[in-house]
């Protein structure tokens, strides 16, 4: 859990099946001034590649891909000390001093070579496989 300083919903997250979906959504969100709240980035805890946008209701919507999948039977909790993001996720709504502190955390992780484990970010997506199969059968 992360403290946000708010006593309301901070954000909810929508995970999609393709990094391209995230990239194209990011491009579309940038068409509207002020829509993007956090730039494209990758989290340290779940390795999610995402961006955040402002919702009309005042909370954020995280749009991402490639989150960590755990097995509850073997999961070992751990604490991270590298800040919330390996790279990116510049919080555009924050004051410059707050943004600088988080940027320093990302740069420190980068200088130490902190990376997500290999193979992260390629979850199986049955829905996507069904859509691809359907589209491929249409042209036959």
Which region among 12-16, 58-62, 95-99, 114-118 has the lowest average model confidence (pLDDT)?
Answer: 114-118
pTM: 0.78
Q: What are the C-alpha distances in Å from 36 to residues 13, 53, 120?
A: 14, 4, 25
Phi and psi dihedrals of 115, rounded to 5?
-140, 160
Q: Architecture of 11-138 per CATH?
A: Roll (3.10)
Residues in the chain: 140
Q: Which of 61, 69, 106 is nearest to 85 (CA)?
A: 106
- Higher-pLDDT residue of 23 and 129 is 23
pLDDT tops 70 at residue 109: yes
pLDDT digits (tens, 9 = 90+) for 47-99: 999 999 999 988 999 999 998 888 899 999 888 888 899 999 999 999 999 99
pLDDT tops 90 at residue 35: yes
* 11 pLDDT tier (thresholds 50, 70, 90): confident
For the ranges 4-13, 84-93, 130-139, the one whose mean pLDDT is highest: 84-93
C-beta separation of 54 from 60 below 8 A: yes
Q: Give residue limits of the domains in the chain.
A: 11-138
């Amino acid at each position: 859990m992360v403290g946000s300083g708010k006593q309301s919903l901070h954000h909810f997250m929508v995970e999609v099946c393709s990094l391209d979906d995230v990239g194209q959504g990011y491009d579309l969100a940038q068409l509207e001034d002020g829509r993007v709240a956090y730039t494209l980035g990758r989290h340290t805890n779940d390795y999610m590649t995402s961006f955040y946008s402002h919702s009309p209701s005042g909370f954020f919507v995280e749009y991402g891909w490639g989150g960590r999948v755990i097995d509850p039977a073997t999961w070992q909790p751990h604490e991270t000390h590298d800040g919330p993001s390996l790279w990116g996720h510049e919080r555009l709504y924050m004051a410059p001093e707050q943004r600088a502190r988080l940027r320093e955390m990302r740069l420190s992780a980068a200088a130490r070579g902190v990376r997500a484990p290999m193979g992260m970010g390629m979850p199986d997506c049955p829905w996507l496989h069904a859509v691809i199969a359907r589209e491929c059968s249409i042209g036959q």
